[in-house]
Chains A and B, each alone.
Chain A
């Protein structure tokens, strides 16, 4: 059976994580490191050590904003941003879910909006997010102000060939 490290390397299809020599440049440049329980280079170390459950259950993998500063500055071209994508995907597939539930609810609401109309309808997407997350009241004033200015509308143009978009979702669903 493949080790956790081998699983991730297989998914990244780039420079293997063993190439990391822990210079911590990724962590030094990470804009969200201050909020993470495990810094990016520590996640690499934890994967090397086979700590699958700890990594997939961590909030770190959800807090990564995918700014790609880490991979840009890595002296060994380790694609840490891609690694974070793989870890999120594995957490979802293995039914562990997300330590940061609201962040995953946002992604789900976003993708469900694409599936529904081919394009994002921002007000409907946000309503869907609020229903999923239970975060009903934040930004209500802002939303109303945008609505009053005509910046966001309840209905917006959709993709005509919506079936072609839905087919992409059904063929890539797991």
Chain B
């Protein structure tokens, strides 16, 4: 299948290993990615927290750019995903706003693209049976807790993603790879997101709770689909309590025997290689 691809800013910087692993997994699953032409930032939290119209317009510029190629647009970053879904929601439900934003952006919003996260595409289009066949190395002994965070799920009427209090799609992907995803109570908790620089102590406290709860559940790592969550998990946990975090696509690539994981894992702040080596997976 062929889909448009919107990497977003993080995936070209601190979330580099997410971009590289999404691309590797898509190639192995015969998903052709066509990058959205001359994309710009979605505006993220900073735009919607301070200027509503700016936030809708920045996302609309990208949605309109993606409409050159109607169909699915894959958006791996949970923050960009949330912003695009939210902009679509506002543009669909408010005709006056839509006209105004079209004037601001200088283009017409035709609403012809479907914003999708790779979790959804891998699960619903490829399917766990195919994934199981692609596994070269079963991830026996890897016990992740899936951390979905906020932005893929809430508000549910806008995100239309998975069960918003007990999401399971990432867990099912992990299961298909031979890993042993564990149930835990913090799947949809918040990591503090963009407060990480302006109010670091709040993020430290929230991440500390996540690590404590992950350990309580018996996990030896966390998997996520959000570069903000990943950065907070990877850099804000207390050294004595932190567990390695992964982008879910890194784990998929590892199980599928693809090239790349070695390079990506070196980029992590909390090195996951000792864990993988101890399990004979690396």
Contacts and interface: CB of A to CB of B under 8 A. Distances in A.
B266 A85 contact: no
Contact of B14 (A72, A103, A111, A151): A151
A118 B40 contact: yes
A37 interface: no
B269 A164 contact: no
Interface string A108-137: 001100100011111000100100010100
Contacts of B193: 65-67
B156 A72 contact: yes
Contacts of A22: none
A111 B44 CA distance: 9
Contacts of B106: 164, 167
Interface string A135-174: 1001100100110011111001101110011011101101
B241 interface: no
- For chain A, what secondary structure do more than half of its interface residues adopt (helix, strand, loop), or is it mixed? helix
Contacts of A50: none
Contacts of B195: 32, 63, 65, 103
A66 B47 CA distance: 12
Contacts of A168: 54, 57-58, 61, 104-105
A133 B106 CA distance: 35
A48 interface: no
Nearest to A14: B93
Given A106-B46, A171-B104, A32 B202 contact: yes
Contacts of B43: 111, 114
Nearest to B158: A68
Contacts of B54: 111, 168-169, 172
